[in-house]
Structure 1
Amino acid sequence: MQKKIHKFVQNGMYILLDVNSGAVHVVDKMIYDMMDYFDGENDAEVQKAMDGMYPAGDVQEALGELHHLMEIQQLFAPDIDVPPTFKAKGLVKSLCLMTAHDCNMRCKYCFGDTGEYGGERQMMSKEVGQAAVDYIIDHSGPRKHCEIDFFGGEPLINMPLVKHVTEYVRKRERETGKVFKLTLTTNGLALNDANIQWLNDNNISLVLSTDGRRETHDNMRPDAGGNPTYDKVMANFRKCVDSRNDENYYMRGTYTACNLDFTKDVEAMADAGFDILSMEPVVLKDSPYALTEDMLPEIYAEYDRLTEFYLKRHREGKGFFFFHFNMDLSNGPCVAKRLSGCGAGHEYYAVAANGDLYPCHQFVGRDRYRLGDVFSGVQNQELPQYFRQSHVLNKPKCVDCWARFFCSGGCHANADLFNEDIRIPYDMGCAIQKKRLECALAVQAILALEK
Structure 2
Amino acid sequence: MKFTLFVTQQCNLRCTYCYIDKHQETMTVSVAKKVVDFIFKKSIIGQEEINIGFFGGEPLLEFELIKEITSLIQNHPFYHNVKVNLSVVTNGTIFSDDIAEFINENDVSFGISCDGPPMIQDQFRVLVSGNKTSDIVEKNIRRAKKALPNVMVNAVYKPETLKYLPETVAYFSSLGIKQIYLNPDFSAAWTKADAEALPGVYDQVGQLYSKYYRQDNSHFISLIDSKITVILRNGYGESERCRMGDAEFAFTPKGNIYPCERLVGNGQNDHCIGSVFEGVDQVHMSCHKAADGEMNTACMSCGLKDYCMNWCGCSNYMASGYYNRVSPFMCASEKAAIQTSFNVFQTLERELGPTFYEHAAGKLMTNSLSEHYN
TM-score w.r.t. the length of structure 1 is: 0.72
Question: Deviation of residue 163 (structure 1)?
Answer: 1.0
Q: Report the secondary structure of 1:357's partner residue.
A: strand
* Alignment match, 2:90: 186
Equivalent residue for 1:370?
272
1:413 maps onto 2:321 in alignment: no
Deviation of the 1:142 alpha carbon: 4.9
CA change 1:363–1:225 in 2 (3 A) is same
Aligned to 2:30: 127
> Which residue matches 1:309?
208
Picking from 33, 36, 50, the partner of 1:146 is 50
> 2-side partners of 1:267 and 1:296: how far apart?
22
Q: Distance in 2 between matches of 1:218 and 1:153?
A: 18
- Look up the match of 1:263: 166
Give 2:302's match in structure 1, choosing from 382, 391, 401: 401
1:445 counterpart = 2:346: yes
Q: Give a deviation string over 1:100-146, Cα, whole Å, max 9, x none.
A: 11211111111224xx2xxx331111111111110011122151521
Bigger helix fraction: 2
Aligned residues of 1:98 and 1:153 also touching (Cα < 8 A): yes
- The SS at the match of 1:280 is strand
Q: Which runs of 5+ in 2 are unaligned?
A: 353-374
Between the two proteins, the alignment pairs up a number of residues equal to: 345
The verdict on how the C-alpha distance between 1:95 and 1:126 changes in structure 2, with shifts beyond 3 A counting, is: same
Tell me the residue number matched to 1:342.
Answer: 242
1:331 Cα deviation (Å)? 4.4
Indicate the residue corresponding to 1:198 in structure 2.
102
Match for residue 167 of structure 1? Answer: 71
Task: Summarize deviations over 1:320-358 as a string: whole Å, max 9, x none.
Answer: 1111211234446764236xx132222101111111011
Q: Output one character per residue of 1:344-393: Cα deviation in whole Å (capped at 9) or x when no partner.
A: 222101111111011101111321111010111102435257438846x6
Could you tell me whether the CA contact under 8 Å between 1:343 and 1:388 is conserved in 2?
A: no
CA offsets, 1:296-336, max 9 Å, x none? 22232211222222222222333311112112344467642
CA distance in 1, matches of 2:98, 2:182: 29
- Aligned partner of 1:319 in structure 2 is 218
CA RMSD of aligned residues (A): 2.2
Q: How does 1:87-98 map to 2 (within 5 A)?
A: 93-98=1-6
Preserved contact between residue 397 and residue 425 of structure 1 (Cα < 8 Å): no
Unpaired stretches in structure 1, ≥5 consecutive residues: 1-92
| Corresponding position of 1:358 | 258
| Residue in 2 that maps onto 1:431 | 332
Q: How far does residue 274 in structure 1 lie from its aligned partner after superposition?
A: 0.6
- Greater gyration radius: 1
Q: Answer with 175-184 or 164-173: which moved more.
A: 175-184
* Closer, same or farther: CA 422–436 of 1 in aligned 2, 3 Å: same
Offset of residue 427 of structure 1 = 2.2
Alignment counterpart, residue 209 of structure 1, candidates 94, 109, 113: 113
Cα deviation, residue 271, structure 1: 1.3
Helix, strand or coil at the partner of 1:147: strand
Measured in 1, the distance between the counterparts of 2:195 and 2:236 equals 31
**In structure 1, C-alpha distance between the alignment counterparts of 2:308 and 2:124, rounded to whole Å:** 28
Letter of the structure 2 residue corresponding to residue 241 of structure 1: K
Alignment-mate amino acid for residue 198 of structure 1: F
Q: Would the aligned equivalents of 1:397 and 1:424 in 2 still touch at CA under 8 Å?
A: no
Amino acid at match of 2:244: A
Higher relative CO (CA 8 A, sep ≥ 6), structure 1 or 2?
2
Match of 1:158 among 55, 62, 66: 62
TM-score, structure 2 normalization:
0.86
